[in-house]
Amino acid sequence: MLNAQQIRQKYLDFFQAKGHQYIPAALLVPQNDPTTLFTGSGMQPLIPYLLGEEHPKGKRLVNSQPCIRAQDIDEIGDNRHTTFFEMLGNWSLGDYFKKEQINWFFEFLTKEIGLDPKKLYVTCFYGNRQFGIPKDTESGSIWEEIFKHHAIDHKQVDLINQENGSKIGCQDGRIFYYQEKNWWCRVGKIEDMPINEPGGPDTEIFYLFDQVNHDPKFGKYCHPNCDCGRFIEIGNSVFMEYLKTIKGFSPLPNKNVDFGGGLERIAAAAINSPDIFKISLFEPIIRKLEFLSKKSYESETTAMRVIADHLRGAFFLCLDGVIPSNKEQGYVLRRLIRRAIRFSFDLGIENNFISQIGEIIGNIFGDYFTQIKDKNNEIIQILIKEESLFRQTLRKGIRELAKLKSKKLTGADIFKLYDTYGFPLELVLEEAFKNDLEIDQKWQEEYQKLIQDQKLRSQTATKGTFKGGLGGHELIHKKYHTATHLMYRALRDVLGDHVIQHGSNITEERLRFDFSHPQKMTPAEIKEVEDIVNQKIMEDLIVTFEEYPTDVAINQLKAQGAFGDRYSDKVKVYKMTPKNEQEPFSIEICGGPHVEHTNQLAQGGKRFKIIKEESSSAGIRRIKAQLI
C-alpha cells in the first residue's frame, strides 16, 4: 500500500505525464487578496486565469497546495476533518474538459493508487431551473460508461438535496444527482453569488468504507453526502464555465477544469481506513503523543486528533511567516497552538512538548517542502515561545480563580478564565470542585452564549467577503495594486534598500503594505513618500508587463518581489516607465491586475495619502493608504 507521501508524488507524476506543468504552492496567507485570511483551496490563486488571463505555464497545470480552513476550528476531532490539509490540484484553462478529466482521475485512483472501483460512488449536478443551468447529464453519461466498462452497476439516482437523501437512501445507485451540493463557487450557494463571480457544476467522487455502519442520527438512510462517515469525498472536479452577471449567468471565455482532491482523504482510502489520522502524515505524531502521555490513541482519540491537526497547521503558518498575535492570521495561529496545549492536559502532558512534535512535523514534510530545512529552527523557536507564554497565562488564571473563592462562579467568570487565561472548561470545573467553589445554576446558558459570540468574532473570513465580485479585479483594485508598486519604490528611495515587502492586502477602500524597517517612520518621511507617489501619478507613467524566466527577472532585471513568495520558473514582471524614457521607475514581479497609465489613479481629483503607519511585528512596519 502507498503512503501519503508516495501518493502525492504519484499524482504529480501522473498529471505531468498528461502534459501538465507543475506550479509551486502559494503561501497560506494570500497576497493581494482581500476576500479571505487564508488560502483554502488550490484554485484560489488561479482565479485570474480561470477568468481568461493566460498563465505563464500554459493551459494544463498541476500542484499540491497546503490549505487552512479554520472556520470550524472548534469542531475538529472527528475521523476526517482537519483545519490544515493538502489539496492535490489539476487545471485545464480552456483545454480539455469533462471526458478527459473524469477518465483521468478514475484512472489515477484505480490504476495508480489501486482503489477498488466497486467502492467508488459519484455525484453530479441536478441543474437549477431558476438560473437556467441545465442538469449535467454529460458527466453522468461519462461515469456510466466507465462503470459499465468495469462491469459495475451504474444506476443513476436523483436525490436533489441532502434531506431527500436521508429519506430515500442510495436505492442501489452508483451515480447521484444533487442540486446545492454539486454547484461550486467560492461563496457556496448559487443564489449568494455576487456579480462577476465564476462558478460551475461539479462532479464529486466518494469512497465507501463498508466496514462502517450507518449512524441513524444523520437520517434514516445513508447516501454519498451523508455525514455518518461511511462515505468520504476524495475528489471534486469543477467545470468552471459560468460567470454571474446582472442578467443571470453567461459563459466564461473558456470552459475550465478545476480539480481538487484531499491528499489525506485519498491516503485514508488507499489503506481502507475511515480514520485519516491513521495515515503516514499523522501516524508519527500520534505515536509520539502516545509515548509522551503513556496513553493510547484508542483511549484518547479526540485529544490526539486535535493536537496533531492543530500543530500541523501552526507549523505551516509559521513556515509562511505568520507570527502569533491577537489579530487576523496571527490570532488563528495563536488559537491553534493554545487549543493544542489545552488538549494536552487531557493527556496528562503538562511539560513543554510542542517542540518535540514540531521536530516530527518537520521530518514528515521536509523532503517535499524543502523550505522547511532553512526555517525549521525558527519555527520551533516560535512554537516554544508561544507555549511558554501560554503556560504563564495559565498560572495567572490559577491566581485569578483563587480571587473568586468568595463568590458564586457565573458563566461570565468561567468564560473569562477560558478566553483571557486559556483555561479549558474541564480544568475550570475541576479547580472549582477542588477548592469548594459554588457555581451558579445558570452558568451553562450564559457561558454558551458568550462562546457563540466569540465564534462569530473569530470567523476567518474578513468582513465584506466577495463584496468586490472577483475579489480584487475591479478598477479600484487595479488602482490600488498600481499605487502599491509606486509606494514600494518610494519607500526604498526614502528609507533605503533594506525595505522589503512582507505582504500586502487590497480592498475597495484602501491598500495595506507590510515592509521591513527597524523604526517608526517620521512625519517628514511619510510626506516624502506621498509626494513621490503623487508625482509619479501625475507624470502618467506607462504600465506594461512581460513574462521572464525567474532567474532573469530577479538577477538581471533586479525586479522586486514579495518576501517569502514561491515562484515558478517563469514570472510576470510589471514595469512603470516615464514617457519617452527607457529606465522604469518601478519594476516588480506581480500577478496583477493594474491600470495602464498611472494618471488613472488621479481620476476625480484624488491623491495618494498614507492614513496610518504602525508596527506589524518585530522589525516589520505596516502602512495603510488611500486614494482620497
Q: What is the pLDDT of residues 325-360, one digit of tens each?
A: 877 888 889 989 988 988 898 898 877 899 999 999
Residue 329's domain comprises 282-394
Beta strand 586-589 with 248-262: parallel, antiparallel or unpaired? Answer: unpaired
**Do 99 and 9 share a structural domain?**
yes
**Do 419 and 322 share a structural domain?**
no
Write the CA distances from 342 to 99, 163, 288, 338, integer angstroms.
Answer: 49, 37, 17, 6
Q: What is the pLDDT of residue 30?
A: 79
Q: What is the pLDDT of residues 203-224, one digit of tens each?
A: 999 999 999 999 999 999 999 9
Q: What is the number of domains present in the chain?
A: 4
Q: What is the pLDDT of residues 19-67, one digit of tens each?
A: 999 999 988 987 666 667 888 888 888 888 998 888 989 999 999 999 9
**CATH code where residue 198 lies:** 3.30.930.10
Does 601 score more than 70 pLDDT? Answer: yes
Residue 429 domain flag: yes
Q: What is the pLDDT of residue 520?
A: 94
Residue 51 domain flag: yes
Pick the closest to residue 538 from 597, 485, 582 (CA basis).
Answer: 597
Write the CA distances from 276 to 267, 280, 367, 553, integer angstroms.
Answer: 8, 9, 21, 42
Residue 468 domain flag: no
**Chosen domain end from 225, 259, 278:** 278
Cβ atoms 67, 40 nearer than 8 A? yes
Q: What is the pLDDT of residue 382?
A: 92
Write the CA distances from 198 to 128, 251, 395, 396, integer angstroms.
Answer: 16, 9, 50, 50
Per DSSP, the residues of 537-570 read: HHTTPEEEEEEEEHHIIIIIS--B--TT----SE
| Of 576 and 73, more confident | 576
Beta-carbon contacts of residue 295 (< 8 Å; ≥ 6 apart): 347, 348
Residue 470 domain flag: no
Q: What is the pLDDT of residues 177-193, one digit of tens each?
A: 999 899 998 888 898 88
Does 547 score more than 90 pLDDT? Answer: no
Q: What is the pLDDT of residue 564?
A: 59
Q: What is the pLDDT of residues 527-542, one digit of tens each?
A: 999 999 999 999 999 9
Q: What are phi and psi of 589, to 5 degrees?
A: -80, 125
Beta-carbon contacts of residue 508 (< 8 Å; ≥ 6 apart): 467, 468, 474, 476, 477
**Do 503 and 483 share a structural domain?**
yes
**Do 551 and 501 share a structural domain?**
yes
**Do 479 and 439 share a structural domain?**
no
**Residue carrying C-alpha cell 461515469:** 143
Q: What is the pLDDT of residues 478-527, one digit of tens each?
A: 999 999 999 999 999 999 998 988 878 888 889 999 898 889 999 999 99
Q: What is the mean pLDDT of residues 242-254?
A: 92
Does 466 score more than 50 pLDDT? Answer: no
**Do 567 and 484 share a structural domain?**
yes
Q: What is the mean pLDDT of residues 563-588?
A: 85
**Do 601 and 561 share a structural domain?**
yes
Q: What is the pLDDT of residue 570?
A: 81
| Angle between helix 263-270 and 4-17 (nearest 10) | 110
Q: What is the pLDDT of residues 59-112, one digit of tens each?
A: 999 999 999 988 777 778 888 889 999 999 999 999 999 999 999 999 999 999
Residue 372 domain flag: yes
Does 424 score more than 80 pLDDT? Answer: no
Residue 91 domain flag: yes
Residue 469 domain flag: no
**Chosen domain end from 463, 488, 507:** 463
Q: Which amino acid, residue 543?
A: V
Beta-carbon contacts of residue 38 (< 8 Å; ≥ 6 apart): 28, 29, 30, 67, 68, 69, 70, 329, 332, 460
Q: Which amino acid, residue 615?
A: S
**Do 66 and 104 share a structural domain?**
yes
Q: How confident is the model at residue 469 (pLDDT cuts 50, 70, 90)?
A: very low
Average pLDDT, the chain: 89
Q: What is the pLDDT of residue 361?
A: 97
Share of the chain above pLDDT 70, in %: 94
Does 591 score more than 50 pLDDT? Answer: yes
Q: What is the pLDDT of residues 432-458, one digit of tens each?
A: 877 788 898 889 889 888 888 776 665
Q: What are phi and psi of 604, to 5 degrees?
A: 80, 15
- No. of H helices and E strands in the chain? 17, 17
Q: What is the pLDDT of residue 4?
A: 97
**Do 441 and 427 share a structural domain?**
yes
**Do 266 and 179 share a structural domain?**
yes
Q: Which amino acid, residue 539?
A: E
**Chosen domain end from 278, 307, 328:** 278
| Of 70 and 412, more confident | 412
Pick the closest to residue 333 from 562, 624, 37, 620 (CA basis).
Answer: 37
**Do 93 and 106 share a structural domain?**
yes
**Do 74 and 169 share a structural domain?**
yes
**CATH code where residue 492 lies:** 3.30.980.10
531 membership: H or E segment, kind and range = helix 523-538
CA distance 478 to 543: 11
Residue 399 domain flag: no
